[in-house]
Chains A and B, each alone.
Chain A
Amino acid sequence: DTAVSQTPKYLVTQMGNDKSIKCEQNLGHDTMYWYKQDSKKFLKIMFSYNNKELIINETVPNRFSPKSPDKAHLNLHINSLELGDSAVYFCASSQGQGARNTIYFGEGSWLTVV
């Protein structure tokens, strides 16, 4: 079983559309994250949640709205998609919020905005 799973893996959509990426972890972790990897492979944190509570919000446009219905799920909704949103989005999880806790990444969701 995949520990951190994301759907869809690939998504091609037009500018202006609204889309969601879903993430689920079966590791029993209490903390989940979204990271964005741009076309130059640069990885940057977007959000983190601990027990459904928003902990980190890294100056992400408010078109991006994470939602955590329970501690095993963290979905990412993106409104009014722009060309610059094209990237790979990685979901991740850890037990505990601290940097000492190993972070497990999903396989990524490739978003292409045309």
Chain B
Amino acid sequence: AQSVTQPDIHITVSEGASLELRCNYSYGATPYLFWYVQSPGQGLQLLLKYFSGDTLVQGIKGFEAEFKRSQSSFNLRKPSVHWSDAAEYFCAVGFYNQGGKLIFGQGTELSVKP
């Protein structure tokens, strides 16, 4: 079945430590790929997106993500996490022929300990 999977429901990292959030998709064609962040009680904010070209994309707030076609993955990384990064992170996919419809993963909640 077509899906977007974020294997980790909850991750805790120490402030200053590196972070990697995983995302895998299961579709026949390579979709457009997105990472969104949702802070408590807030809407979603786009961190970064991948359509084509360079497989390493840079986003806002020091985040980056790498697309790996062979693994159908689009993992989000940050070299040094700040306490303000604590939030829910969503991976999403879109397709050129489905309008603006995004299909979201189930989210990964990030906690940051001092």
Contact = CB atoms under 8 A, between A and B. Distances in A.
A76 interface: no
Interface residues of A, number: 30
Interface size class on chain B is 20 to 34
Interface of B: 31-32, 36, 41-46, 49, 51, 88, 90, 92, 94-96, 98-104, 106-107
Contact of B99 (A41, A43, A98): A98
A80 interface: no
Contact of B104 (A44, A58, A97, A108): A44
B45 A41 contact: no
A95 B83 CA distance: 33
A67 B43 CA distance: 22
Nearest to A3: B43
**Max count, chain B CB within 10 A of own CB: residue among A31, A41, A56, A102:** A41
